[in-house]
Amino acid sequence: MIRRSIRLKIVLSFLIASLIPFIASILLVFKKGEEHLIENIKKQQEHQVEILKKTIIKDFKNLKNELSFWAGNQILNDIVVDDIDKRIQKFLFRIKEKRDIYGILVCADLNGKVIASTEKKLIGKTLDKISLDKGFKDLYFDSNLNKNVLRLSRPVYSSFHKKKIGYLIIFLFPEYLKQYTFETESNTTSLYNRKIDFFVGKELPVPQKLSINGFFEIDRYLIIYKNLAGSKLSNWYIFSEINKEILFSPLNSMENIFLAVAVFGVFIIFILSMVISTKLVEPIKLLTETADYISKTKDYSKRVVISTKDELGILAEAFNEMLTEIQKALEKIKQENKERLRLFAKLIEIINKITSAKSEKEVIDIVTHELRAFLHTDKIGFSSEKIKDAFNVSINTETVKGYLYFYLGRKITPEEKQFLESIGRMVNLYIEKIELLHKAQAASKAKSAFISNMSHELRTPLNSIIGFAQYLQMTETDENNKEAARSIEIAGRHLLEMINEILDFAKIEAGAVKVEKKRFSLKKLISEIKVIVHPLVQEKNLELILPEDTDLEINTDYRLLKQILLNLLSNAIKFTEKGYIKLDISKEEKKIYFSVIDSGIGISKENLKKLFQDFTQLENPLQKKYKGTGLGLAISKKYVELLGGKIYAYSEGEGKGSKFEFYIVETP
């Protein structure tokens, strides 16, 4: 029995010492993860609700503007003659059919008497003239229609003497608002009118007191609401209900996995501890009585008492001392781990907030606000001068100069000093990063604007020069003058091509190139490319080899793909004096591969690395006679990347031809 109890204690000690910190840390991590997930969901949902609010307000504003526009139609002059030929009636039906208004259109005279309506039973009824002048009436029960409606009205003025002659009114049914609601398994959005306690969409629980916006939880649901303040619809609220169980299902799955790992760990620890305990019990038979006493009385203050001076006595003293130290150490480790985990989680949260800042001021505001909560004091801030009796950390960047000051009311420990100085260094680095980002953005914009303006200013006179050169070729009879005009035209076109490349590059750099994908046949594309490059190939007496089986249809940007192939084929023709130019096309799953192979001057291994750099021409004696901007391949590379692919260049060396291969990813 004694041996069994010792073995059991060893087993339990292993289990407790190993699993409690593990389980505690896992529970804390999952709790923090759940809190962060809820915060992220709330922020995302609040953003979506805000977008929906703006959409509703904008739609109602547009509807009121349209109503004002309709009220100015000359047909409504017939109000003064009580719509004798029913033109107003037809006009109202046309509006409803065209605008698809879910409600009733009404035209009334100055006394509120309905003279025309898309609902015939309203004709001859008299409406409240005073409320019509107000222009809008929120959701109410209309006795004439026997249902809840919203009412918008606008005065009608005669076109001949600009005098008010009546009103144009829309009775909107609440179902009109259903277009802004939806219901899914995980999320439901509804509209609620506080004044008459009326829901459009799924009915949700409503708290007794509603502020402008807020949230509350009921059972497994998180409900976020926002008032349509700033509009005539101030009695309306948007309610968004989120099913937390569905959103947390991945987190719950992870909890189950960690639970399975913990159970498996218990089993392994149990086996190992049984093996170890068996080996330990035999050498310490003399300690069993004391161990038995401790197990029965639970008096853990008792220690092993052995008076001998031999190894057993030394073992007993060491055992007693070890128990005391282990007990203290474990307690200290658990407390330190707990505190470290809390501080680490909080520090990660602060760093995440700092890295999400968009401006230097926002960085300072986040740091001071978060450190106040972290250090439990309000006496933390930023000053341009050092604060007396406070710990000051210097912030010194190009745009921000000053000190983060910390007044804790006590002496700061070396660890705290090191931590606060680290925070200061991090703030300095991140502010410098923001400053550099702002500079880079400004430089990029200035560069793009300069290139665009320069290209535009050069193209206008250049087009005139080319046109004049063409005119001279048609009118001149002297062959020398014709040849000179032809040289001017060729040089002008070459310069115009360079300017167009620079302008295309500027558009890419500015992010102004939009990808417009559509389905088309490669056969059509190859045929257009052949028409363009064939004269260039004939001029140099080269062989052009194009794929024969091109019935493949793909879905991508026709214009960009055509430009990439033209750039590569033109480049190959430009650097090939004899031989052939070949285009290959193949498809593997969703990737379409294109290869342009030539027997031209080739590329050295050193120059292969520079091929796709901006404004770069290769240092090759064979290329000195070929001129260009060095942008053709750079533009092609960026176009390929816009289409989801990559481009590569291969060559065995100078004089051995080259191969340019790229692929694009086809979207369904």
DSSP assignments along 495-551, one per residue: HHHHHHHHHHHHHHHTT-PPP--EEEEHHHHHHHHHHHHHHHHHHTT-EEE--S---
Q: State the pLDDT at residue 3.
A: 43
* Secondary-structure percent of the chain, ordered helix, strand, coil, rounded to 5: 55, 20, 25
Residue 663 banded pLDDT, cuts 50, 70, 90: very high
C-alpha–C-alpha distance, residues 451 and 510, integer Å: 11
| Lowest mean pLDDT, pick from 466-470, 588-592, 627-631 | 627-631
Is it the case that residue 36 has pLDDT exceeding 80?
no
Other beta carbons less than 10 A from residue 235's beta carbon: 15
Is it the case that residue 426 has pLDDT exceeding 70?
yes
Is it the case that residue 330 has pLDDT exceeding 60?
no
Each residue's pLDDT tens digit, 134-148:
888 888 888 888 889
Sheet holding 391-396, edge to edge: 380-383, 401-406, 391-396
Q: State the pLDDT at residue 594.
A: 92
Which pair of tokens denotes residue 263?
């159970």
Residue whose tokens read 């004089």: 655
Residue 4 banded pLDDT, cuts 50, 70, 90: very low
Mean pLDDT for the stretch of residues 29-44: 71
Q: State the pLDDT at residue 2.
A: 42
- Give which of 561, 530, 583 is closest to 666, Cα–Cα: 561
Task: Tell me the three state secondary structure of residue 17.
Answer: helix
What percent of the chain stands above pLDDT 70?
68
Which pair of tokens denotes residue 510?
């500015």
Q: State the pLDDT at residue 130.
A: 77
C-alpha–C-alpha distance, residues 152 and 101, integer Å: 12
Q: State the pLDDT at residue 624.
A: 46
C-alpha dihedral, 54 to 59 to 63 to 64, nearest 10°: 0
- Residue 184 neighbours by CB under 8 Å, 6+ apart: none
Q: State the pLDDT at residue 539.
A: 84
- Give which of 634, 636, 660 is closest to 572, Cα–Cα: 660
C-alpha–C-alpha distance, residues 632 and 634, integer Å: 6
Which pair of tokens denotes residue 476?
């001149």
Q: State the pLDDT at residue 662.
A: 92
Is it the case that residue 620 has pLDDT exceeding 60?
no
| DSSP conformational letter for 120 | G
Mean pLDDT for the stretch of residues 646-659: 86
| Lowest mean pLDDT, pick from 119-133, 273-287, 568-582, 635-649 | 273-287
What percent of the chain stands above pLDDT 90?
4
Mean pLDDT for the stretch of residues 373-383: 75
Is it the case that residue 290 has pLDDT exceeding 70?
no
Residue 106 banded pLDDT, cuts 50, 70, 90: very high
Which pair of tokens denotes residue 481?
């003058």
Is it the case that residue 277 has pLDDT exceeding 60?
no
Is it the case that residue 472 has pLDDT exceeding 50?
yes
Residue pair 3/288 in contact (Cβ under 8 Å)? The answer is yes
Residue pair 225/237 in contact (Cβ under 8 Å)? The answer is yes
Which pair of tokens denotes residue 427?
């703030």
Residue 493 banded pLDDT, cuts 50, 70, 90: low
Q: Is the pTM of this model over 0.85?
A: no
